């Protein structure tokens, strides 16, 4: 969306309400016009003066304020996107029931734009059958309800229920704005994504690795969640905030990545191998730090690592599962990519040219998507979220009417 979007930011009454200030800041800095609609309980955590100062708009909670403007209808009707962060158990219940007992609930009821909710609550509330039913109802209606993060809650408690990282909530919102009229075409699907780069130890302090930052893999995760998917990321040595609404499994070596991907892929509709996986590892890792001496070091003996992509392609974890590979090449990219597509047996292969100052760590990427059915899709230089959407477009087209597994 090239012009500034009209965004409605709902804030419900949880301790995480203060984190919505960061969501608001990132959206306004991106050039969008944001109206904040808190619940009355939210104002007990963050006052209206803060929201008004940060958004530049007046704030109210009641449907009977500004009656002449019919705010309880107009705000939702005119929004290009609605975000609720945090979304408490109470707010989820009221939204699922179609209540209109305050300005935020009424606005949700009339909104016809994409809606994303970022829940935050105690673990017991999130796990309660009533909440799970409400979340399922909202998702069935096309609302993107992100899964909460795992971490420290209020007091001494920890567990699932923490608000996802505010920067990632904002990034998910901006990703949705890039596709304002698209349906959540991955709703009901489970996708597994590998991201980052594996490291193979030489000794307790050194390793063989690569330059992958994990940004493209995390963009794939973020955009899949924005399109309604249940997402598991197998993350190899990534120093980024967790994408909002996804499960992250952390690994280090290729062997660990293989184990985690194969386990997660058991019920997945699609597996996207975006990680830079080491082809080789040292034949032996020294038990203690290798010391520098006057003698030349001994030659480094390498052995092959398991070929995870080929294994996934040859032994699909469920009927109809799509497997997507990545090929990072430094020269003759398409030639090598076509050979890899045939050799690995995957459905799609995303090919890009990489180097010291290209792709790795960058915010931009350009790729060619090769398909086993002969299709070629060229994706010009763009942000990694845009590239991720192009990959999911190709995946969604091939998933088509294939039945989703029972998760």
| CATH code (residue 92) | 3.40.50.1950
Q: Which of 135, 151, 177 is the last residue of a domain?
A: 177
pLDDT at 292: 87
Residues 155 and 274 grouped into a single domain: no
Residues 376 and 317 grouped into a single domain: yes
Which of 73, 141, 84 lies closest to 107 in space, CA to CA? 73
Residues 169 and 200 grouped into a single domain: no
Residues 269 and 359 grouped into a single domain: yes
Residues 194 and 166 grouped into a single domain: no
Domain membership of residue 407 (yes or no) is no
Residues 204 and 331 grouped into a single domain: yes
Number of domains forming the structure of the chain: 2
Whole-prediction pTM: 0.88
Residues 57 and 109 grouped into a single domain: yes
Q: Measured between alpha carbons, how far is 357 from 223 in angstroms, rounded to an integer? A: 25
Domain membership of residue 196 (yes or no) is yes
Residues 202 and 329 grouped into a single domain: yes
Which of 134, 210, 237, 352 is the catalytic position? 210
Domain membership of residue 1 (yes or no) is no
Question: What are the per-10-residue average pLDDT scores of the chain (407 residues)?
Answer: 85 96 96 96 96 94 63 82 97 97 94 95 97 96 94 87 95 87 87 97 94 94 94 97 95 97 95 96 93 86 96 91 92 91 96 68 88 94 93 94 56
Q: Annotate the chain with three-state secondary structure.
A: CCCCCEEEEEECCCHHHHHHHHHHHHHHHCCCEEEEEECCCHHHCCCHHHHHHHHCCCCCCCCCCCHHHCHHHHHHHHCCEEEEEEECHHHHHHHHHCCCCCHHHHHHHHCCCCEEEEECCCHHHHHCHHHHHHHHHHHHCCCEECECEEEECCCCCEEEEECCCHHHHHHHHHHHHCCCCCCCCCCCCEEEEEEEECCEECCCCCEECCCCCCHHHHHHHHHHHHCCCEEEEEEECCCCCCCCECEEEEECCHHHHHHHHHHHHHHCCEEEECCECCCEEECCCCCCCCCCCCCCCCCCCEEECCCHHHHHHHCCCCCCCEEEEEEEECCCHHHHHHHHHHHHCCCEEEEEECECCECCCCCEEEEEEEECCCCEEEEEEEEHHHHHHHHHHHHHHHHCCCCCCCC
Domain membership of residue 405 (yes or no) is no
Residues 62 and 15 grouped into a single domain: yes
In which domain, by residue range, is 245 found?
Answer: 190-399
pLDDT at 179: 80
Domain membership of residue 406 (yes or no) is no
Domain membership of residue 48 (yes or no) is yes
Q: Which of 177, 212, 240 is the last residue of a domain?
A: 177
pLDDT at 358: 55
Residues 146 and 242 grouped into a single domain: no
Q: Which of 114, 143, 177 is the last residue of a domain?
A: 177
**210 is annotated as an active-site residue:** yes
Residues 92 and 208 grouped into a single domain: no
CATH number, domain with residue 240: 3.40.50.10300
Domain membership of residue 183 (yes or no) is no
Residues 195 and 341 grouped into a single domain: yes
């Amino acid at each position: 969306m090239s012009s500034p979007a009209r965004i409605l930011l709902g804030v419900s009454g949880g301790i995480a309400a203060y984190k919505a200030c960061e969501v608001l800041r990132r959206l306004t800095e991106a050039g969008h016009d944001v109206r904040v609609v808190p619940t009355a309980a939210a104002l007990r955590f963050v006052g209206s003066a803060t929201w008004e100062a940060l958004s530049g708009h007046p704030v109210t909670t009641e449907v009977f304020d500004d009656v002449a403007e019919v705010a309880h209808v107009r705000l939702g009707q005119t929004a290009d996107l609605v975000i609720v962060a945090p979304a408490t158990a109470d707010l989820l219940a009221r939204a699922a029931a179609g209540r209109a007992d305050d300005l935020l609930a009424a606005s949700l009821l009339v909104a016809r734009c994409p809606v994303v909710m970022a829940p935050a609550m105690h673990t017991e509330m999130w796990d309660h059958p009533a909440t799970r039913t409400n979340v399922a109802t909202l998702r069935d209606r096309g609302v993107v309800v992100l899964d909460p993060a795992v971490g420290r809650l209020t007091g001494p408690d920890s567990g699932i229920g923490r608000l996802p990282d505010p920067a990632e909530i904002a990034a998910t919102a901006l990703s949705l704005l890039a596709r304002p009229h698209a349906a959540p075409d991955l709703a009901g699907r489970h996708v597994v994504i590998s991201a980052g780069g594996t490291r193979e130890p030489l000794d307790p302090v050194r390793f063989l690795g690569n330059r992958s930052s994990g940004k493209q893999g995390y963009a794939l995760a973020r955009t899949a969640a924005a399109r309604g998917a249940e997402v598991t990321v197998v993350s190899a040595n990534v120093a980024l905030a967790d994408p909002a609404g996804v499960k992250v499994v952390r690994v280090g070596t290729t062997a660990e990545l293989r184990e985690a991907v194969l386990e997660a892929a058991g019920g997945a509709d699609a597996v996207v191998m975006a990680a830079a996986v080491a082809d080789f590892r040292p034949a032996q890792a020294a038990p203690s730090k290798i010391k520098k001496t006057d003698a030349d070091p001994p030659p480094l003996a390498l052995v092959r690592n398991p070929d995870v992509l080929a294994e996934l392609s040859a032994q699909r974890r469920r009927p109809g599962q799509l497997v997507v590979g990545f090929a990072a090449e430094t020269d003759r990219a398409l030639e090598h990519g076509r050979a890899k597509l045939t050799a690995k047996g995957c459905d799609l292969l995303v090919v890009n040219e990489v180097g010291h100052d290209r792709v790795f760590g960058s915010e931009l990427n350009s790729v060619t998507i090769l398909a086993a059915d002969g299709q070629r899709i060229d994706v010009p230089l763009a942000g990694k979220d845009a590239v991720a959407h192009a990959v999911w477009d190709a995946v969604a087209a091939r998933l088509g009417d294939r039945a989703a597994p029972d998760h």
